Chain A
């Protein structure tokens, strides 16, 4: 189950272990002794009501906020610094850089030589051949989000954290981006925050539902087939109903 699959992952997949995580923002205890494991090489979707702390958990995993207590480590017990790639709801493309240079931003920041060939290959992979030298302003929202996906892939990190990555694009584009992401991220440990139960059921190897304050994690069942799944296939509709029920209960208990 932890075997790297085709899709390429030089770093090798790693489990992400959250150990007794406590985190307080302001005077709001978002997490108190939360422990969980994100399995290696799989996509875990994180759902839950607005304000429950999904983004905060992701930012803590990315090393952007320090937990008050506890720790978040890889399966080897070491921290995750330098092993995570982060993708946000907004593309976060730098407006002065071309698509290609945005994809190569990580290398620039680390003072490594930029690999233009790899950047071009990844842009082609996300369907943006011929747009390499365009600035973000010259691209549509969906195209920009694909550049952001290529940038995330370029980082070639074992863990990929995504915060509502496709929520700002239209339904059809979102559907295609989900298929694309599912394919190109295969073999990595992906944690994907989403508000869209259908997206979670299409992409997740498992679903975590956050609820309460401080937040607790509850698992939810996924359809039998491997992702990316088609919404009308097999037990998808039944799982969708289960998940909706679970989210409704969690929402009622939220502050």
Chain B
């Protein structure tokens, strides 16, 4: 409860600060709309914004699901198969070295102006944090747990997939979760960048269009909606992960159990 309260105080403080900056700087509304103009736009154009927000949300969720599946799958394959370690690991590292923003135009070219290219962008941007943190968790299993498991299965070569399923995977879940948190935080970036490069829908598209028409209040309203979406997504994912991994040591004040 106090968490919600503190969140509300922070938001209120930021809004006040925003209004103060507007008043002090004396910037005209077409450069810097104040909170009142922005919220007015948010309410009067709510139908429009909600429609575009739904598109962006779908892209983000699509990217999250795909990126997580691909990232987690790669991590498991790399952890379990020696040749994969030699061949896939360099690819994994390289995938991070390529600036994702630079290939956004290519994705739009190949996958079209629709949702697919945005989901592709979000997937790409999510893939690495998920894969690398999960792989980190998989390779750092407490060796004595593995030893114990091997005495139970009858030797280091016996039943590697049972050991994976019952020991390595659960042991790597906290690391996987931190990757997923990063993914939830960056997924909106991927979707919006995709929309900026070329699209006919979504909050990123709406912002560009409003910008071109000097509807700065609408642009701010769309930005606000995007921020709300991103923050809500992050906390939802964080909450779900805490629930799913209750044994994870947590030194921060926890949510109600």
Contacts and interface: CB of A to CB of B under 8 A. Distances in A.
A complexed with B: yes
Nearest to A64: B147
A113 interface: no
Contact of A64 (B151, B159, B166): B151
Interface in B107-154: 142, 144-145, 147-154
A81 B167 CA distance: 20
A62 B166 contact: no
A36 B162 CA distance: 35
B247 to A, nearest CB: 4
B155 A81 contact: yes
Contact of B156 (A64, A82, A111): A64
Interface stretch (A46-54, A88-96, A168-176): A88-96
B154 A82 contact: yes
B163 interface: yes
A95 B173 CA distance: 12
Given A94-B167, A135-B247, A109 B162 contact: yes
A128 interface: no
A64 B151 CA distance: 8
A32 interface: no
A108 B165 CA distance: 10
B151 A110 contact: no
B170 interface: yes
A86 interface: yes
A63 B162 contact: no
Contact of B150 (A64, A94, A111): A64
Given A95-B247, A96-B247, A109-B153, A86 B148 contact: yes
Residue among A88, A94, A105 having the largest count of chain B Cβ atoms under 10 Å? A94
A184 B59 CA distance: 60
Contacts of B142: 92
Interface residues on A, range: 20 to 34
Nearest to B245: A96
A155 interface: yes
A155 B148 contact: no
Contacts of B155: 63, 81-82
Given A59-B147, A62-B147, A90-B144, A110 B152 contact: yes
Interface in B227-251: 245, 247
Contacts of B150: 63-64
A63 B166 CA distance: 21
B140 to A, nearest CB: 15
Contact of B145 (A92, A111, A155): A92
A12 interface: no
Interface string B30-59: 000000000000000000000000000000
A84 interface: yes
Nearest to A161: B151
26 contacts: A59-B147, A63-B150, A63-B151, A64-B150, A81-B155, A81-B158, A82-B154, A82-B155, A84-B151, A85-B152, A86-B151, A88-B144, A88-B148, A90-B144, A92-B142, A94-B171, A95-B247, A96-B173, A96-B247, A108-B162, A109-B149, A109-B152, A109-B166, A110-B154, A135-B247, A155-B152
Interface of A: 59, 62-64, 81-82, 84-86, 88, 90, 92, 94-96, 105-106, 108-111, 135, 137, 155
Interface of B: 142, 144-145, 147-156, 158-159, 162-163, 166-167, 170-171, 173, 245, 247
The 8 closest A-B pairs by CB, nearest first: A82-B154, A106-B152, A86-B151, A95-B247, A81-B154, A96-B247, A109-B162, A81-B155
